Amino acid sequence: MAHLLLAQTNDHIPLKPHHRFGRAHGEVDTQVFGIEISRHHAVIIWTGELWALRDTSKNGVFVNRVKISPDVDTVLSLGDVITFSDLHPHSFIVSSLNPPG
């Protein structure tokens, strides 16, 4: 199973095949707090061959400090660092890209 590592706490976050991130309690798989975080900020998707990240926010998503295009899938690689806004203090490291179990 693929997972991310929350860099600031070393917590592992196992990824579902359609894993949603954002502020909306009860509507996302991983809740991310902060005024700069959208209710539905981003999603990581298993395509059947690889893991891809999609920005669904208004404030942007960054992979390795580069802002990705909104609503376009960005293929993830092992070791990529994801941040959910240029102002948000937490980052997520892609630590496993195994297919869903």
31 within some domain? yes
**How confident is the model over 43-67, as pLDDT tens digits?**
999 999 999 999 999 889 999 999 9
Domain coverage including residue 91: 3-96
Specify the pLDDT at position 101: 79
The domain total for the chain is: 1
Domain CATH code at residue 27 = 2.60.200.20
101 within some domain? no
Q: Does 88 score more than 90 pLDDT?
A: no
82 within some domain? yes
47 within some domain? yes
Report DSSP letters for the chain, one per residue: --EEEETTTTEEEEPPTEEEEES-TTT-SEE--STTS-TT-EEEEE-SS-EEEEE-SSS--EETTEEPPBTS-EE--TT-EEESSTT-S--EEEEE-PPP-
Range in 10-24, 31-45, 67-81, 82-96 the model is least confident about: 82-96
**How confident is the model over 65-75, as pLDDT tens digits?**
999 999 789 99
